[in-house]
Structure 1
Amino acid sequence: MNEAVLQHRYGGTDVLRGQLELILLAGQKQNVEIQVMPTECEENAGVNGPFTVVTRKDGKKFVYTETHTTSSLETDPEQTALAAARYGIIRSQALSPRESTKFIEGLLGAL
């Protein structure tokens, strides 16, 4: 998630505190990794918006995207491979899960 989203006080300080605490709790689950994209990152492969790469047990990949007006499920192997590669790039540009946890804890401490 983008650093700026984690710092915006929609609903006030108490709401933000609760959201940050929930993110940290979710990050403790075995199947969840939280990563923060720093605002100072000049190269961000995620600027085109959110997407989800789903990999079935047989290895076949799908890409799901959603906007406020439409959603799409991409099944073309070439497009799904590109999206999976982009996902890897985004993860490498973001803070590591450990760094992200420390960053979010720092935000909480500053509230």
Structure 2
Amino acid sequence: MPTLEFSERVDAALGTGGLLSRLVELVLRSQLPAWFRETAELEARAVEICTFQMGMVHGLVQTEAYARSVLGVLDESKLDDRTAARMGRQRIFERSKPPIFWMVLSEAALYQEIGGPDVMREQLARLLSLAAEPRANVQILPFAAGAHAGSQGSFNVYRFSSDPTIVYTEGYGSGHPTANPDTVQDCSLRYDHLQAAALSIRDSAELIRRVTEDRYGEQVA
């Protein structure tokens, strides 16, 4: 399957007006699990995405190596295509007005070594780079927070310019989007509490730097 970069270059060479790139995006989306495609559409339409993640970095800000390591667990079939599909989702941030993205990430995810030290260094550097993007924010929920409002698991909140807010939770091989007002209200409140319990954006960045140096820094002989 051609990459997005290759398709963009062919579009430029042939003057297709971006036709091939658009087609590749459709093909990439077809590589997503059938149960996740509806959620990918929600991501693409949302004006604000708020996510709480307990065990790993959200797919929208994963590096390619980190994503490949996550997707390859127990299943390496079509791994190149599935990784490309996940990375393709991140193109929503290339829009002229990208969605606001807010992630509260458990401190545990900084220590869960996915793909090895090199992969983790790159991934944590990616999180730090978001500090330069005013529409993307990362807060770390520290171990010291103890019991917290997200103890029941990870979840996403998608907000739209005119459509109702959607809450999304995920299980093994299944996704569960809902616009139920009670669920949306409950999860929105939980997210407010998680943001309040998390470190500030600045302190979160400092913790990420410290973990990068202490746990994944170069080994001195």
Same fold (TM over 0.5): yes
Matched with 1:11 is: 115
User: Cα–Cα, structure 1 residues 11 and 57, in superposed 2: closer, same or farther, change >3 Å?
Assistant: closer
1:43 Cα deviation after fit:
2.2
Alignment of 1:8-87 (within 5 A): 8-58=112-162, 60-87=164-191
Within the candidate set 193, 207, 213, 1:89 is matched to: 193
Uncovered stretches (5+) of structure 1, i.e. residues with no partner: none
Uncovered stretches (5+) of structure 2, i.e. residues with no partner: 1-104
Structure 1 residue ranges, 4+ long, deviating more than 3 angstroms after superposition:
none
User: Cα–Cα, structure 1 residues 50 and 27, in superposed 2: closer, same or farther, change >3 Å?
Assistant: farther
Letter of the aligned partner of 1:70 in structure 2? S
The TM-score with structure 2 as length reference comes to 0.47
SS in 2 for 1:106: helix
How many angstroms apart in 1 are the aligned matches of 2:113 and 2:169? 27
1:79 Cα deviation after fit:
1.5
How many angstroms apart in 2 are the aligned matches of 1:89 and 1:73? 21
How many angstroms apart in 1 are the aligned matches of 2:185 and 2:165? 8
Structure number with the bigger relative contact order (C-alpha 8 A, sep ≥ 6) is: 1
Aligned CA RMSD, in angstroms, stands at: 1.6
Higher helix share: 2
SS in 1 for 2:166: strand
Structure with max Cα Rg = 2
How many angstroms apart in 1 are the aligned matches of 2:208 and 2:152? 24
1:11 Cα deviation after fit:
3.0
Q: Percent identity?
A: 28
SS in 1 for 2:125: helix
1:9 Cα deviation after fit:
2.8
Q: Is 1:103 paired with 2:169? A: no
The TM-score with structure 1 as length reference comes to 0.88
